[in-house]
Amino acid sequence: MVTTIQVDEQTLELLKKLKREMVVASYAEAITRMAAERTRGKSFGGILQKYYKKKPLKEILKDLRDKHDRF
C-alpha cells in the first residue's frame, strides 16, 4: 500500500539530503534505514521497568521464558 504524507519544506530538504547520502532509491527507504539504525540494539526491558517500578527488572524478566525454551 502506498500513501502520501505532508512535510514542510525544511523536512523535505532534510529527506533529500538523507536520500543522497544513503544512496537509496526512495524517501521511504531512507526513512526505513534511518529508523532501523536508530532502534537497532535497543532493549525493551528498560521500557517494562517504567511500568513496573516497584519490582526490579530482573524479577520482571525472570520467568519470561521457561527453561525448556532455552537453547
pLDDT band at 27 (very low <50, low <70, confident <90, very high): very high
pLDDT at 16: 94
Q: Which residue's entry shows cell 526512495?
A: 26
pLDDT band at 7 (very low <50, low <70, confident <90, very high): very high
pLDDT at 24: 92
> Which among 44, 43, 11 is positioned nearest to 30, based on CA atoms?
11
- Give pTM, 2 decimals: 0.52
What is the spatial distance between Cα 20 and Cα 42, in angstroms, rounded to a whole number? 27
3-state secondary structure of 30: helix
What's the whole-number mean pLDDT along residues 56-62? Answer: 70
